[in-house]
Structure 1
Amino acid sequence: MSAAVFALLLGGAGLATAASPAQAADATYKVRCVPPAGGGDPVEGETTAKVTAPATAKVGDEVDVSWETVKPASNNTDLMDIPKDAVQPTGWITVGGGGGELKVVGEKKNPPIPKKAPMQMSTMKGKLKLTKAGKITLTPGKYEVAVTFSFGTFVTKCAPTGEVKGGATIDVSAGSSGGTTNGGTTSGGTTSGGTTTGGTTSGGTTSGGTTSGGTTSGGTTGGGGGQSDFPGKAVEVAFDCGPVVPGGIKTPVTINARKNGGSYDLTVKTAKGAMAAPMALPAGALKPSMAIKLGGADSGTVKVAGPANAEPIPDKAPVSLSDMTGTYKPGKTGKVTLSPDQLTIDVTMAPGATPINVPCKATSSGVSLELDTAAQPGGSGSPSTTGATTAGPGGGLAETGAEDGGGLKALALVAGTVILLGAAVFTFTPWRRLRGTR
């Protein structure tokens, strides 16, 4: 969501202080930030960090060091608000004189950050044990920003692109311990930074409820006589979307066919949405496609695709996948079965932006339709052959799907989680604009 949300990543770093007497110093430097997987290309920006630490201390002291963001690298995007207490930064300060790195961690504490408003991160803090006399320099370096939503936590990692100048200096005098050993690395408390997971989500998976379309098990047989329409039966399909959608998706899928010469025009329906959208979605945000697996006399797959939502979807409004259409041109003569296979959802949160691709593998499926076919020149017939693809005509998300009212509740989760990932891209919109890509 960009979800969130991640403008904050480039938001910059800063430092705060602890003991007295204390001194603070600013460091302004350029960073390169890498968004979460699927969040788009890395971006660059400039941040100003203030490091605060005692001006003087002695060997054996454990001093407080902090990093405060003075100037963030960008504002929040114009796509979504960042909720209160959702942002947690973690930074690493280089300790000069062979002292390694000091890890500093901020609280997950921030005011609500409206669209286009300056990013705000809490002060990162840590403790440094002084083990060597002399001047110890503290220079800010790489940092991470984790943003947590109800449907997951996403981390952007930022690192300097050149030399960092500035930071605090501690004049360490020899103490009773006599100035032994080198600085070592110190920990800065507990952090939720580093690797993040998609978080626990509500809504999880849902079954499609009562299904529409077919009646018999094993699909509907067609192709003989003067019949032109061949309705399929609804089959319950479980999709594994990986970490993007914890628990996956379960929904009834129906494959219907209409004979068109020697080929068949396919229409694939999923269940209607039974869950509110997790956030407002712009027109053109969600576009589904699916691979239909051929069995029996023929083999390979046929791709079907649906149009994106033509109208914006308000927050809390029902969300459904549009009907997906495509053309199956038989490559073999005989009885051919058609079963739902991989589902793909492309999410685009802004005009001209690169879509976020979310693949969902069918871990359990079944035959929705069976046809009596006659081989056609250039038709399917091998595992690597795919039927012609056509995009479905118009139609909005809320109006498509099975007629039974069964819920594709997990779809809302897909929308939310995918959008969240998309946010990673769009949160960096300010830099994309600077580069003239929008």
Structure 2
Amino acid sequence: MIGCSKKESSFKEDVSFLKDHTEIILLSTSNGSIAIAPQYQGRVMTSTTDSSEGIGFGWINKKVVEAGFLSAGERKGKLEDQIYIFGGEERFWLGPEGGQNALFFKPGSSFEFSEWKTPAAIDTDPFQLVKRTGNMVGFEHQCELLNYNGTIFNMKIERNIRLLDKGAIETIIGEKLSNKVDFVAYETDNRITNVGNDPWIAETGLPSIWLLGMYNPSPETTVVIPFKEGDSTTLGQKVKDDYFGKVPKEYLKVEDDVLFLKGDGTKRSKIGINPKRTKGVAGSYDANQQVITLVTYNIQDAPNGFVNSSWEYQEEPYSGDVINAYNDGSSEPGAPPLGPFYELETSSPAAALIPGETMIHRQTTIHLQGEVAALDVISKKMFGVSLEDINTSFTE
């Protein structure tokens, strides 16, 4: 068993802290645990492969959690006026963020940070706990959202979180799991339903389900995303790498069918994989803690494409990414990082729903910690590269 280093807080310590400030639901097995916060939209705050001694994988913004948001009117913090960054290793969000169909900009506003604001439904509104069993919890929330076009979405949100057992993990990775590897894994089933009277149509904007995971960074962490090899004319560009300016080669290495992005929290950078390139998996490897993280999702048809969240008026509002990864860092010289943390994200197709219709987006998160040789088998299977390839990706 690999325990915490002195620089890492334990899962047990993180859960104790969280319980001092908000309700926490624990789902546990003999193999691991996850901590869920109903007040924070049913997000998974953190998880571990060892509830008593193990590290917590999720990044938690303890300053914001400690301050809370019930007294927000008493504070003038710029970020807290626009978003409450609680952290958490998987949260429910909605897209698109920017563009003429944006959910984060009011009609008539400019696409500037000062006018950007996270909708309360995915920021401060609690989700209602509606069911609970030994290894699963379910939440619901109903809301009304306004996009930049002035379109109103009357929406029901459902989110179910379920712990996965060893057999489920083996099915996903296509390999028997070595007894020298500890694990924790969970699936979230996320749904949005049109509960209004009008259909959601592309011309006035479509929403999508967007899941984001915030993890603790380290100098030894590398994000790894395999993708389909092929001509850009057919499959599009390999990687979108210019969200915040082009990612420098010291932080991003792109090969024929796989990319490596540093997850060290020292350089603000974001990349995206389009739906024609995806293999349905993204992940990371922390060589220091000997942890592989895997994120998979349900690949499905997307007749209306994927929403584009760029902060601009868009010529192609449905040409967005299905997978994103983000490495935190300073937004400008001398400014502190937001976390730091790194993120793995997946999105559903754009949801063109008639009244009563539902879009479903399922995601699995798996953390595997243990012997390097056993993890190497999983890395080759899921990423198509060895751990040595990952560890040397920025040294060659």
Larger radius of gyration: 1
Q: What TM-score do you get using the length of structure 1 for normalisation?
A: 0.24
Q: What TM-score do you get using the length of structure 2 for normalisation?
A: 0.26
Greater helix content:
2
